[in-house]
Amino acid sequence: MPQREFSTTVDIDAPCSRAWQVLVGFDDYRAWCPTHREINGHPRVGEALRIRLAREPGSDATVAVAATVRDVEPERELAYGGGVPHAPWLLDVHHAFRLERLDDGRCRLRNFERFRGALMLILGPWIASRVGSGYAAFNDAFRRRCESPPE
């Protein structure tokens, strides 16, 4: 089955507890996140999420995506996924945010996404052209939000 994976990391000058608060603070995404303009739902396994993704980082033009929370490990991992309902062989998307405690008390975010399925033969180049800038924008904004004092 055709697939494409993307993975980036960013080190954050804040503890994983702070990074976790920012990551699961869905109500605040509009204020800081240039890629995920809105997330409706709760970080619980099996919970349905409605995500509005910016077509370009920082843009108000969005596309709505439905996803389901697949994994929640407080202060360690949040993962959700979606794709073509009832036909994951066409397209299945898995997005995971993993937090790693560093020895000096800081935190590292690993932002990982896997796209797989027959539609990747057609969509693969388009997705690849868009994902890189989105990851860089998300990681930078996430780092800045985590490093700033809580509101």
Spatial separation of the C-alpha atoms in residues 3 and 117, rounded to whole Å = 6
Spatial separation of the C-alpha atoms in residues 112 and 97, rounded to whole Å = 6
Residue 151 has pLDDT above 80, yes or no: no
Structural domain harbouring 118 = 3-147
The 10s digit of each residue's pLDDT in 12-27 is 999 999 999 999 999 9
Which pair of structure tokens corresponds to residue 19?
């990074």
> For 110, phi and psi rounded to 5 degrees?
-110, 120
The domain that holds 52 is classified in CATH as 3.30.530.20
- Give the mean pLDDT of the chain: 93
The 10s digit of each residue's pLDDT in 48-90 is 999 999 888 888 888 899 999 999 999 999 999 999 888 999 9
For residue 94, which of 62, 70, 124 has the smallest C-alpha distance? 70
Residue 118 has pLDDT above 90, yes or no: yes
Say how many domains are in the chain. 1
Confidence (pLDDT) at 57: 82
